[in-house]
Chain A
Amino acid sequence: MTTTPKRPEPLTLERVRARLRDHRGPAFWRGLEELAGTPEFEEMLTREFPAQASVWPDGVSRRGFLGLMGASLAFGGLTACTRQPLERIVPYVDQPESIVPGKPLRFATAMTLGGYATGLLAESHMGRPTKVEGNPEHPASLGATDLFAQASVLSMYDPDRSQTVTHLGRISTWPAFLADTRKALTALDALGGARIRLLSGTVTSPSLAATIRRLLERYPRARWHQHEPAGRGGAVDGAAAAFGEAVECRYDLSRAEVVLSLDSDLLTSGPGSLRYARDFMSRRRVRPGSGSMSRLYAAETTPTATGSLADHRLPLSGGQLMLLATALAAELGAADAAPANRLGERQAAWVRTVAEDLRLHPGSSLVVAGDCAPQDLHVLAHAMNDRLGNAGSTVMYSDPVPADAGDQGGTFAELVEAMAAGEVDVLISLGSNPVYDAPADADIMAALYKVSRRIHLGPYVDETAEFSQWHVPEAHYLETWGDGRAFDGTLTLQQPLIEPLYGGKSALELVAALIDDEERSGLDLLRAEWQARTPEGEEFEGFWRRSLHDGFVPGSELPARRPRLDQDAVDRAAAELSAGESGGLELVFRPDPTVWDGRFANNGWLQECPKPLTKLTWENAALISPALAQQQGLETGDVVELVAGGRNLEAPVWVLPGQPDGSVTLHLGYGRATAGRVGSGLGVNANLLRPATAWRIGGLELRPTGARQILASTQLHHNVMPDNPEGEEAERRHLVRVGTIEEFKREPDFAQHVAHGPDPELSMFPGHDYPGYAWGLAVDLGACTGCNACVVACQAENNIPVVGKEQVAVGREMHWIRIDRYYHGDLDEPAVHHQPVMCMHCEQAPCEVVCPVGATVHSDEGLNDMVYNRCVGTRYCSNNCPYKVRRFNFLKYADTETPVLKLLRNPDVTVRTRGVMEKCTYCVQRINQARIEANVGDRKIRDGEIQTACQQVCPTRAIAFGDLNDADSEVSRWKQQPTNYALLDELGTRPRTSYLAKITNPNSELGGPPDDREPGGHHG
């Protein structure tokens, strides 16, 4: 490209006004020149902001540079002394239907992650989406969401999002892009589009897939590559190998009595995990009289939340896990494999016991291989399920959910190869970021250099955008029309709630615009595609309206079928696996529990969300086992050089109890160079060591560098170490009460007897009287997976600020709900317990008496109210709170300057200023909303009418909230359970929040975990 210097056109106010006249809607602008759209402003912008500066040096002379500087100074002055344009605020002439100021509206929509859709209900305040909830009717959600969906609203408003089409780093326009790209594509017509490549993540959207297919038909020799850095390659390939055809499998955990998870985190990550967690917990809730409970075994190479829920968890390196799986398959008779003679005694016993237990439950057992497990492990899992008669019962097979490109498809490796060979002229990346997340063995930069036209569609000017000639901002899912399929194939509609804030386009719109002469809106495109999906005998408009309202098409899941297992393939896989053990140290890669594959790197809520087991924030670390740490003389925070596959990477280590000795885990998603102001430069990039699509690499070497790094964790990490008081004290204080199902049957109220103290009702102070409602909350510890959805949901609902790594490191995170993690027992194989802790709303609240200004007071419904306006910030209340649930604005944490973030806020919740204490309110704004509605209807608030944000989002329904004065409310019923106990009730605070003890179902054959669990029954 040549850049011929043009004479600057004089900038006139007339031009500015003219532009403003034509502009409507929420367009933000930075100065008059931007509005005037002058080339010199655009030039200046490009030069001034290095992120958008063109990579090609074009020799700006000293003279030219001075001229530019002069111009920018002059422009700066111009902005300062011009009157801002007059803006009139007028009421609606025609009141839009159903908009009542102050009352939110909810719309069904969907978010996709890794291609798979989850149905959502997005809340809109006067046209601003502020919060999403799960769509209770959607099969993948059932009303719950994961933390990514909760944080997605922040991503939408992210001021760092890309805001304009750029060409060679300079601001350009959508029409210019279209014209240029269409020209380039048609130039390749003669070749049948042979040199055109499309790169996208996994696509389940039928409309996008159909549109891409149209492009592929138009250019029959073009190819479409799907690349998902945290994808499910092993699962897809494994199913294909086991059955000889592409099939998708999904599970029904509500029918499973015995579940074996092989390196799977199915309850907290991956498609369907929300549904799986709900179904799983439906078999784990024990109440007196209902004696049965499912059992979960987990063998895993890196500790996961799913593993922490297992009744028996076995940490194994990847190699050992393969041996174990083979032995198990052989034991079950599912595969012809060598006996388990290479397994240790303990593992062999484990295999025998688990196999026996599985065999006892034909048709109601389940073997699950993880999304990150290799292909062969999946083959064995299918074989075992087949052998156990689980197919069709706990495992369902169907056609694949992701769209298939047919013979015009290809893998990422093939794309890199083709590019390197100079066979690609046009590369269109739809939301992919290969420059960052390409595996280490692909020389992606060299390959991309050979592509003459690189086009990037993405939400940020990311690593790949910087390296593309054309960049088009991608619209967020809340801004654009689309569709997708859920884990079971359910057709799900994605409905926008707002016009694209920054003028982005969706992949659907972009691809369609490249092939159609006439550009059509996303809505038109989608409707056109959905015409074909109208059920027989139904009129389209009605079908469309209903689907739009519901957010999905009920009953559209892919029909189950029974593919035939290829026994030869199973035996081959077993042979492959049993030969695979390499020994030595291995490096295991996993998608990050909070930033996934790096796409959420610029989301402060997710960055600051403590990762489930490490409670680490803002970065990743190489997780190593305590034994390995001891052997290598390493401590948490020591920086080591990881050497594997001829590459090296420096990373801090984190000593994680329960990590297998032979494995080191490194999460993806960090080490982003240009993620934005929040996410750039955090952690280390695991992709730099990752071989193509593999989740594991052997032959790892750790070389200490002697350097140390401060890692920001929200909880002391070593509360399991011997002679460390934290773990011991947690035990002695009976904070988490756990019992086995046997103990529960023997003594259902065991949890109420483990601690002895004075009667909490004894008090010198008169009690409170609650004539109306008495709000209370209960948490079922057994159902908590530690998935963090509640933490981010609370943050979104309550306008909780992000404080940054340095502040977290000194102990100033602001989360109103935290998930306390306690280890129990052995260092190498500890039991893990999660305990969500929010404000307890004590009857005799220690905070209330010590506040000198009465800023925290007891309400007549039992809430411990925080009056922000009255708070002067003595912090006495926090000091006196035994649960340490109060959070203080030590500095001005809330960002009240960035205009776009103002739109994000929940208007029903005050934004807190510096020097003010805050804490969980039981979502008092929701209580008040329900009260208003009940008062209007002249009735009492019904049970279940109020859901706190944490309760609503919880995938396993581990939280109950309601009126304690109503003996029939759900929360009252929970509190009547014999397992109900109050945290630290010996202090006499009489908390309103209580816990149901965790019940486990260990197999007596395995003798329980290495150490006895928290004893049930009397003692002391």
Chain B
Amino acid sequence: MSDPLGKAPIVAPGHTAGSVTDKISSIVFERTPRWWWAAFGASFLLVMMLLHSLTKLLFTGVGIWGINIPVGWGFAIINLVWWIGIGHAGTLISAILLLLRQEWRTSINRFAEAMTLFAVACAGIFPLIHVGRPWLAYWLLPYPNTMELWPQFRSPLIWDVFAISTYATVSALFWYVGLIPDLATLRDRSVQRWKKMLFGAFAMGWRGSAVHWHNYEVAYLMLAALATPLVVSVHSVISFDFAVGQLPGWHATIFPPYFVAGAIFAGFAMVLTLSIPLRRLFRLEDFITLRHIQNMAKVMLATGLIVAYGYMTEIFMAFYSGNQFEEFMILNRIAGPYRLYWWALILTNVLAPQAIWLRKVRTSPALIFLVAMFVNVGMWLERYVIVVTSLSRDFLPSSWGTYSGTYWDWSLFIGTIGLFLALIFLFIRFLPMISIFEMRTILPGAKGNPE
């Protein structure tokens, strides 16, 4: 495929190390733009809604949600999987693309890592609150106690605890370690004393000496190596929640790879969703170029195709297996009471991304943004279909039921979106959203750079 953008520079021409540093750090030091207040204010209101809903939930119980018997899991688990999936892009961009020496990742990795961290934070709320007695959720942790009680290690929920906490820890470390040189830059550029103190404290005494750089490079690579298996493992483990269950629609060996692909798919969609407006608002088109947008769109298309393949395999296996419960499950998805969700899923996750094949779409940030929004919705629908449709009609028709989210289901979900956005806005306001020092290394003529 000959694509002129494929060879386009990753940084617009005319930039020097100084202009890059100026541009990125100025976002932090400039006066807060008006739109930021409006956007942050709106997100903050949603955070308040989240807190209100959480309070209501803790005082009243999970009965405020729409869950029931047979549909014992609802929005909480859907949202958990959705957020965790979104969080996958960060690790992928930072670690795998780093190891694969994909330099174009540089202008988006900081941002994607932050997004990962915030998505994992949103996801992390749900396992805690979705249990009936949240004040006892710590029983899922293996801690020594006088009763000599341990978690039941055969349960995928225990694996989740480890997977998510490991992932959150490594992501946070990775992000923070990557920030250190830039924090030092900000420290040096700060005028006010308190800012110097604050950035200085977090910069951990970084002076940019060769020893520092050497240690940094080693640590960063090691963290990348550590994080790489996590890209595959976290969502595989999450998928075990379903795959280990014996429910038709859950009990499938395809789940781990298909979930991982779905996660990357969702993650890139979210990076696109955030970066397209932000590059415009902060005039960062020079750093997040159309080539970046296009590369991400291509990754989204590729993983989207894997996901579509997963759907096909599910359908094929249901009939090929001759298992009547599986057959019924597929027919029920397609034509049952939740068929609208399934068809909407096919539209958003399978059909919409195909538009990326068209160059016209690929070169238009607005259209790609639209496709990414479709995918964001689609991935949520996918989890809804998996969780709700499978549970609502399982083995005994006498116990079939229906499910729909209540106000509290929605308010918690939208509340976490608010939390996510609020954290993102804080991040872009107070920290360099693009890695300054890494950008300097990929400038034409920088050391070790062939161009």
Partner-B contacts on A (CB < 8 A): 715-716, 719, 725-727, 729-730, 732-733, 735, 807, 810-812, 818, 820-822, 835, 837, 846, 849-854, 870-876, 878-880, 882-884, 886-892, 913-917, 983-984, 987
Q: Name the A residues within 8 Å of B157 (CB-CB).
A: 850, 852, 874, 876
Q: Which of B61, B140, B332, B397 contacts A719 (CB 8 A)?
A: B397
Task: Tell me if B358 is interfacial: C-beta within 8 Å of chain A.
Answer: no
- Decide if A887 touches B69 in the complex (CB within 8 Å): yes
Cα distance A326–B9 when bound, in Å? 99
Cα distance A69–B198 when bound, in Å? 63
Q: Which of B70, B131, B158 contacts A878 (CB 8 A)?
A: B70
Q: Which of B67, B155, B394, B398 contacts A876 (CB 8 A)?
A: B155
Q: Name the B residues within 8 Å of A984 (CB-CB).
A: 395-396
- Decide if A729 touches B397 in the complex (CB within 8 Å): yes
- Decide if A882 touches B246 in the complex (CB within 8 Å): yes
Given A725-B328, A854-B149, A871-B133, 4 other A-B residues pairs in contact with their CB atoms under 8 A: A810-B66, A888-B132, A914-B61, A915-B132
- Decide if B246 touches A725 in the complex (CB within 8 Å): no
Cα distance A849–B398 when bound, in Å? 25
Annotate B60-97 by CB proximity to A: 1 below 8 A, 0 otherwise.
Answer: 11111011111111000000000000000000000000
Cα distance A201–B365 when bound, in Å? 82
Looking at the assembled complex, report how far the CB atom of B360 sits from the nearest CB atom of chain A, in whole angstroms. Answer: 44
Q: Name the B residues within 8 Å of A892 (CB-CB).
A: 61
Q: Name the A residues within 8 Å of B158 (CB-CB).
A: 852
Of the candidates B71, B149, B395, the one having the most CB atoms from chain A within 10 angstroms of its own CB is B395
Q: Can you sample 29 A-B contacts with CB below 8 Å?
A: A719-B398, A725-B336, A725-B397, A726-B397, A729-B397, A811-B70, A812-B68, A818-B398, A837-B396, A849-B152, A850-B244, A850-B245, A870-B139, A871-B133, A873-B62, A875-B67, A878-B72, A879-B72, A879-B245, A882-B247, A882-B396, A883-B396, A883-B399, A884-B69, A884-B396, A915-B61, A915-B134, A987-B246, A987-B395
Task: Tell me if B48 is interfacial: C-beta within 8 Å of chain A.
Answer: no
Task: Tell me if B136 is interfacial: C-beta within 8 Å of chain A.
Answer: yes
- Decide if B139 touches A853 in the complex (CB within 8 Å): yes
Q: Name the B residues within 8 Å of A735 (CB-CB).
A: 396-398
Q: Name the B residues within 8 Å of A716 (CB-CB).
A: 397-398, 400-401
Partner-A contacts on B (CB < 8 A): 60-64, 66-73, 130-134, 136-137, 139-140, 149-152, 154-158, 161, 241, 244-247, 324-325, 328, 331-332, 336, 391, 393-402
Looking at the assembled complex, report how far the CB atom of B252 sits from the nearest CB atom of chain A, in whole angstroms. Answer: 15
Q: Which of A733, A852, A916 contacts B395 (CB 8 A)?
A: A733
Known: A729-B328, A880-B245, A914-B61. A810 touches B68 (CB 8 A): yes
| Nearest CB in chain B to that of A913: its residue | B133
Cα distance A871–B152 when bound, in Å? 12
Looking at the assembled complex, report how far the CB atom of B74 sits from the nearest CB atom of chain A, in whole angstroms. Answer: 10
Cα distance A983–B396 when bound, in Å? 9
Q: Name the B residues within 8 Å of A873 (CB-CB).
A: 62, 131-133
Looking at the assembled complex, report how far the CB atom of A369 sits from the nearest CB atom of chain B, in whole angstroms. Answer: 33
- Decide if B328 touches A853 in the complex (CB within 8 Å): no
Q: Name the A residues within 8 Å of B400 (CB-CB).
A: 716, 726
Q: Name the A residues within 8 Å of B132 (CB-CB).
A: 871-875, 888-890, 914-917
Q: Name the A residues within 8 Å of B394 (CB-CB).
A: 882, 884
Cα distance A889–B391 when bound, in Å? 18
Known: A725-B328, A733-B395. A849 touches B72 (CB 8 A): no
Looking at the assembled complex, report how far the CB atom of A216 sits from the nearest CB atom of chain B, in whole angstroms. Answer: 54
- Decide if B151 touches A852 in the complex (CB within 8 Å): yes
Task: State the 3 A-B residue pairs at the shortest beta-carbon distance, nearest first.
Answer: A873-B132, A915-B132, A890-B63
Cα distance A810–B401 when bound, in Å? 8
- Decide if A812 touches B63 in the complex (CB within 8 Å): yes
- Decide if B63 touches A872 in the complex (CB within 8 Å): no
Cα distance A851–B150 when bound, in Å? 12
Known: A879-B391, A890-B63. A850 touches B328 (CB 8 A): no
- Decide if B140 touches A821 in the complex (CB within 8 Å): no
Q: Name the B residues within 8 Å of A884 (CB-CB).
A: 69-70, 394-396, 399
Cα distance A818–B398 when bound, in Å? 10
Q: Name the A residues within 8 Å of B154 (CB-CB).
A: 849-850
Q: Name the A residues within 8 Å of B72 (CB-CB).
A: 875-876, 878-879, 888
Cα distance A266–B324 when bound, in Å? 40
Q: Name the A residues within 8 Å of B156 (CB-CB).
A: 850
Cα distance A729–B398 when bound, in Å? 10
- Decide if B133 touches A875 in the complex (CB within 8 Å): no
Cα distance A854–B132 when bound, in Å? 15
Q: Name the A residues within 8 Å of B398 (CB-CB).
A: 715-716, 719, 730, 735, 818, 820-822, 835, 837
- Decide if B152 touches A854 in the complex (CB within 8 Å): yes
Q: Name the B residues within 8 Å of A914 (CB-CB).
A: 61, 63, 132-133
Cα distance A913–B62 when bound, in Å? 13
Q: Which of A732, A872, A878 contacts B69 (CB 8 A)?
A: A878
Looking at the assembled complex, report how far the CB atom of B334 sits from the nearest CB atom of chain A, in whole angstroms. Answer: 12
Q: Name the A residues within 8 Å of B161 (CB-CB).
A: 852
Cα distance A837–B70 when bound, in Å? 15
Looking at the assembled complex, report how far the CB atom of B247 sits from the nearest CB atom of chain A, in whole angstroms. Answer: 7
Looking at the assembled complex, report how far the CB atom of A886 sits from the nearest CB atom of chain B, in whole angstroms. Answer: 7
Q: Name the A residues within 8 Å of B396 (CB-CB).
A: 733, 735, 820, 837, 882-884, 983-984
Q: Which of A872, A879, A882, A917 contacts B73 (CB 8 A)?
A: A879
Known: A811-B70, A874-B157. A853 touches B140 (CB 8 A): yes
| Nearest CB in chain B to that of A877: its residue | B72
Known: A730-B397, A735-B396, A874-B157. A853 touches B152 (CB 8 A): yes
| Nearest CB in chain B to that of A889: its residue | B132
Cα distance A880–B251 when bound, in Å? 10
Q: Name the B residues within 8 Å of A837 (CB-CB).
A: 396, 398
Cα distance A1002–B397 when bound, in Å? 27
Q: Name the B residues within 8 Å of A886 (CB-CB).
A: 69
| Nearest CB in chain A to that of B62: its residue | A890
- Decide if A874 touches B62 in the complex (CB within 8 Å): no
- Decide if A882 touches B395 in the complex (CB within 8 Å): yes
Q: Name the A residues within 8 Å of B397 (CB-CB).
A: 716, 719, 725-727, 729-730, 733, 735, 822
Looking at the assembled complex, report how far the CB atom of B147 sits from the nearest CB atom of chain A, in whole angstroms. Answer: 9
Q: Which of A715, A849, A983 contacts B155 (CB 8 A)?
A: A849
- Decide if A854 touches B151 in the complex (CB within 8 Å): yes
| Nearest CB in chain B to that of A814: its residue | B69
Q: Name the A residues within 8 Å of B67 (CB-CB).
A: 875, 890
Q: Which of B66, B247, B324, B331 contacts A733 (CB 8 A)?
A: B324
Cα distance A867–B435 when bound, in Å? 52
- Decide if B133 touches A915 in the complex (CB within 8 Å): yes
Q: Name the A residues within 8 Å of B152 (CB-CB).
A: 849, 851-854
Looking at the assembled complex, report how far the CB atom of B318 sits from the nearest CB atom of chain A, in whole angstroms. Answer: 14
Cα distance A880–B241 when bound, in Å? 10
Q: Name the B residues within 8 Å of A987 (CB-CB).
A: 246, 395
Q: Name the B residues within 8 Å of A916 (CB-CB).
A: 132-133
Q: Name the A residues within 8 Å of B139 (CB-CB).
A: 853, 870, 872
Cα distance A837–B399 when bound, in Å? 10
Q: Name the B residues within 8 Å of A715 (CB-CB).
A: 398-399
Cα distance A735–B161 when bound, in Å? 37
Q: Name the A residues within 8 Å of B134 (CB-CB).
A: 915
Cα distance A333–B134 when bound, in Å? 74
Q: Name the B residues within 8 Å of A871 (CB-CB).
A: 132-133
| Nearest CB in chain A to that of B152: its residue | A854
Q: Name the A residues within 8 Å of B155 (CB-CB).
A: 849-852, 876
Cα distance A556–B197 when bound, in Å? 99
Q: Name the B residues within 8 Å of A854 (CB-CB).
A: 149-152
Cα distance A725–B400 when bound, in Å? 11
Known: A730-B397, A874-B130. A811 touches B69 (CB 8 A): yes
Q: Name the B residues within 8 Å of A887 (CB-CB).
A: 69
Q: Name the B residues within 8 Å of A810 (CB-CB).
A: 66, 68
Cα distance A214–B425 when bound, in Å? 90
Known: A873-B62, A915-B62. A811 touches B131 (CB 8 A): no
Looking at the assembled complex, report how far the CB atom of B342 sits from the nearest CB atom of chain A, in whole angstroms. Answer: 15
Q: Name the A residues within 8 Å of B62 (CB-CB).
A: 873, 890, 915
